[in-house]
């Protein structure tokens, strides 16, 4: 068929991120079904198959049950780095780990003695997303988990070493919650370059409500400064999709697509079926992205 209909995966798949290796897409998402980092695979971004646990063993300093928002950084044909959020036993906060694998679907191994980032005094650190700029430089963006302790949630950026295992220089604050639609939280950041412009996409508001949505800012560099778009949010609850957000972006055959999660309308916060996987196209009007969604009707496939 030449069309598809959302959701493209009806199971629980929160905080999705996908990379293409060869002819296969590999998607990782927040823990579920007894797995730390569930993996889905697809030949076409539309048909997804469960493919095991990318991180079967947590680092020795982490506790199970709260392994969130993993993302994959491809560094070579047999080297991949995974950045999951895990429960740090010592601090009692959510912190960011890094694990290395030889295949995109894992298994990944984190043999470190502690977190890569753990801003415990700021509530912890979550939602890490790696970015490779045009010059090959690597960066990591993330959120301090301020809403866990009733303080501001900032999105941060910092240079990564070429092997993806160390942070370089100092962390830079990019933006925090300031707009009514954002509520008390901004989170789930990722950087994306389109043409000459650099975009910082992010989710905001309470994840388990219909108010959760996606917006973006434009940035001068991966370390800022960044300016929020006036037309935010660019993806919000509509039709059968409630609380869409925590997205990632991919390109296939010259088209741009947003992968994100959403609750079935009326089922916000429910464990069954949970946050399902949605796919919608993004088009660009000059330097302005438009997300054509959430869509519940058939649309042209990637």
DSSP letters along the chain, please?
--EE-S-SB-S---S-EEEEETTEEEEE-S-BTTBSSEEEEESSSSS-EEEEES-SS--TTEEEEEEEEEEEEEEETTEEEEEEEEEETTTSSEEE--EEESSTT---B---SS-SB--GGGTBEEEEEEEE-TTS-EEEEEEE-GGGTTS--EEEEEEE-TTSSSEEEEEEEEEE--SGGGTT-EEEEEEEEETTEEEEEEEES-TTSTT-EEEEEEESSTT--EEE-TT--SB--BTTEEEEEEEEEEEETTEEEEEEEEEETT-TT-SSS-SEEEEEEEEEETTEEEE--S--S-EE--
- CA 129 to chain centroid: 6
Cα distance between residue 154 and residue 88, in whole Å: 20
Average pLDDT of the chain to the nearest whole number: 97
Please report the pLDDT score of residue 287 as a whole number.
82
Q: What is the pTM of this model?
A: 0.98
Given phi > 0 = left and psi -120 to 50 = alpha, else beta, which region is 247? beta
Q: Measuring CA to CA, which residue among 151, 198, 149, 142 is closest to residue 171?
A: 142
Residues 211-269: pLDDT tens digits?
999 999 999 999 999 999 999 999 999 999 999 999 999 999 999 999 999 999 999 99
Residues 167-190: pLDDT tens digits?
999 999 999 999 999 999 999 999
Q: What are phi and psi of 49, to 5 degrees?
A: -130, 135
**Which pLDDT band holds residue 286 (cuts at 50, 70, 90)?**
confident
| Stated length of the chain | 302
- CA 67 to chain centroid: 13
Please report the pLDDT score of residue 80 as a whole number.
98
Domain 3-14+75-101+111-300 has CATH 3.30.200.20: no
Measured at the alpha carbon of residue 253, what is the angle toward residues 82 and 81, in degrees to the nearest 5? Answer: 10
**Which pLDDT band holds residue 1 (cuts at 50, 70, 90)?**
low
Mean pLDDT of 273-284: 98
Mean pLDDT of 82-105: 98
Mean pLDDT of 16-43: 98
Residues 141-162: pLDDT tens digits?
999 999 999 999 999 999 999 9
């Amino acid at each position: 068929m030449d069309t598809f209909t959302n959701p493209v995966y009806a199971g629980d798949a929160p905080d999705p991120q996908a990379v293409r290796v060869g002819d296969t897409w590999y998607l990782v998402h927040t823990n579920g079904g007894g797995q730390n980092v569930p993996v889905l695979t697809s030949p076409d971004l539309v048909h997804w198959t469960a493919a095991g646990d990318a991180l079967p063993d947590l680092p020795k300093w982490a506790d199970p049950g709260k392994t969130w928002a993993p993302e994959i950084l491809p560094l070579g044909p047999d080297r991949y780095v995974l950045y999951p959020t895990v429960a740090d036993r010592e601090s009692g906060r959510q912190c960011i780990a890094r694990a290395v694998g030889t295949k995109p679907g894992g298994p990944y191994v984190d043999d470190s003695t502690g977190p890569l980032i753990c801003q415990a005094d700021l509530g912890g650190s979550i939602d890490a997303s790696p970015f490779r700029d045009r010059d090959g430089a690597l960066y990591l963006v993330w959120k301090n988990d301020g809403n866990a302790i009733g303080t501001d949630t900032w999105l941060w950026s910092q240079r990564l070493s070429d092997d993806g295992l160390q942070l370089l220089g100092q962390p830079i604050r990019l933006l925090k919650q300031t707009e009514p639609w954002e509520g008390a939280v901004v989170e789930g950041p990722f950087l994306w370059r389109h043409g000459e412009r650099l975009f910082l996409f992010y989710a905001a508001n309470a994840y388990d409500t219909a108010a959760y949505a996606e917006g973006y800012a434009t940035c001068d560099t991966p370390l800022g400064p960044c300016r929020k778009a006036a037309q935010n949010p660019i993806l919000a609850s509509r039709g059968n999709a409630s609380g869409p957000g925590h997205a990632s972006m991919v390109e296939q055959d010259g088209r741009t697509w947003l992968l994100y999660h959403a609750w079935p309308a009326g089922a916000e916060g429910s464990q069954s079926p949970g946050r399902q996987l949605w796919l919608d196209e993004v088009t660009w009007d000059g330097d302005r992205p438009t997300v054509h969604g959430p869509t519940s009707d058939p649309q042209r496939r990637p």
